[in-house]
Copies of this chain bind each other. A is one copy, B any other.
Amino acid sequence: MNPGDRVRVDRADRTYEGVLLPSSTDEQLVVKLEGGYNVGVDRDEADVAVLAEDVYEIDGTDATGDDAGSEIEFDDDLPTISLISTGGTIASTVDYRTGAVTAQFDAEDVLRAVPDLAGRANYRGRVVANILSENMEPPIWQDLARAVREEIEAGADGVVVMHGTDTMQYSASALSFMLETPVPIVFTGSQRSADRPSSDNVMNAVSAVEAAKSDCAEVVVCMHATESDDRCALHRGTRVRKNHTSRRDAFETVGAAPLGEVDYETETVEFRREYRERGETDLEIAPDLEGDVELLKFTPGMDPAFLDVVEGSDGLILEGTGLGHVHTDLIPRLEELIADGTTVVMTSQCLEGRVCDRVYDTGRDLLEAGVVEAGDTLPGTAKVKLMWALENSDDVEEAMGTSLAGEIQERSVPWA
């Protein structure tokens, strides 16, 4: 059997049918399923039958960025958009039809996968990872930031990052802190895979490309604004949250209206709030992260032993109740952690509104213990930010209380 063959793989009591892909290890078979997802199977435990040979042409590992050989001609009048794939439902549309999982896909692959993208831009394609986004890890955020920098340095007028929806908000936050960008960096994904009639992948991909051509040089998330196929919302990367498990309009800006919208019919991009304009800043990258930062959500009856796990860590984000509280019995332990060098930051599980520990006694005790407030920073964003600030800020406490990438809002902006 060879990559490109259609195979059936039996392992334990499960059967997979799909296209065999190149694998980076000898121990694993990687099979691209009908739905577009890849599954890894232990080679030793699997029975494999080849159903048909050479069903798909598998791209090589050439990562020069050169799209020589493509039949698509470069159009001088169009901007160049770089599409970076990390995996997930939307990327699988491209990956599945092209088989490109190892390094590179080109303009032709993109247009074969989503024909509606034709005529909008010259495309560059690049694969940073091919994972389900629940498996995303901080080192891949760093790879992604470096890949985005390289694409911009190579002339991309905008970057679209195809990402699984589960942890898109964390990755968008990471890039928001790591990169100062002169061009748009637009995350998009899909809540329904391409093989389902209700798939949102085409409209999201098209809208993301339009947003990447726009004037807004920020890290944003572009996903369905409503349950209809009428428009996508553009959310600031540090304020966005997946607020529904399955709806196509699951992504929302917390505590404010979205930054802007892409009208799918008129293909216009409009912004309702201030943003950083294209070219306003030079390209800068600061990808270092301190990995040893944890997040703990406090609930009544929580075992204080969770705090022991954090002992020796560099940072802890608490997701407290209300204005930023935990059971007062935990405060002496937090004080010890802080004395040992852990930066402890308070956020609220309310999600909307800012923490304020000056109002009640519990809060004042937390502040006295050295707990740092993160304003209205979302808990997940605060974790990413603290990882970043510990490596990149002279004054981490001050950084956590200051908006570096739109993560703290001056005041809550009402919903539109």
Contact = CB atoms under 8 A, between A and B. Distances in A.
A145 interface: no
A184 interface: no
Nearest to A319: B297
Contacts of A291: 301
B303 A134 contact: no
A309 B303 contact: yes
Contacts of A355: 245
A321 interface: yes
B327 A135 contact: yes
A141 to B, nearest CB: 8
Interface in A267-295: 291, 293-295
Interface stretch (A77-85, A96-104, A118-126, A356-364): A356-364
Given A134-B322, A306-B306, 18 more contacts: A14-B364, A132-B362, A134-B325, A137-B301, A138-B301, A166-B322, A167-B321, A243-B351, A244-B353, A245-B324, A245-B354, A247-B353, A294-B306, A299-B380, A299-B383, A303-B309, A305-B309, A309-B309
Contact of A361 (B132, B298, B301, B362): B132
B245 A323 contact: yes
A246 B353 contact: yes
Interface in A294-317: 294-303, 305-306, 308-309, 313
A196 to B, nearest CB: 10
Interface residues of A, number: 66
Nearest to A294: B303
Interface of A: 14, 37, 39, 132-138, 165-167, 170-171, 242-247, 250, 291, 293-303, 305-306, 308-309, 313, 319-329, 348, 350-356, 360-362, 364, 376, 380, 383, 387
Nearest to A309: B305
A300 B138 contact: yes
B300 A294 contact: no
B299 A170 contact: yes
Contacts of A353: 244-247, 250
A132 B360 contact: yes
Contacts of A138: 300-301
A295 B137 CA distance: 22
Contacts of A293: 301
A294 B301 CA distance: 8
12 contacts: A133-B321, A133-B322, A134-B327, A134-B328, A135-B329, A136-B300, A138-B300, A243-B351, A245-B324, A245-B354, A246-B353, A299-B380
A39 B135 CA distance: 46
Contacts of A165: 322
Contacts of A167: 300, 321
A232 to B, nearest CB: 19
A325 B132 contact: yes
A293 to B, nearest CB: 7
Contacts of A322: 133-134, 165-166, 242, 245
Contacts of A313: 303
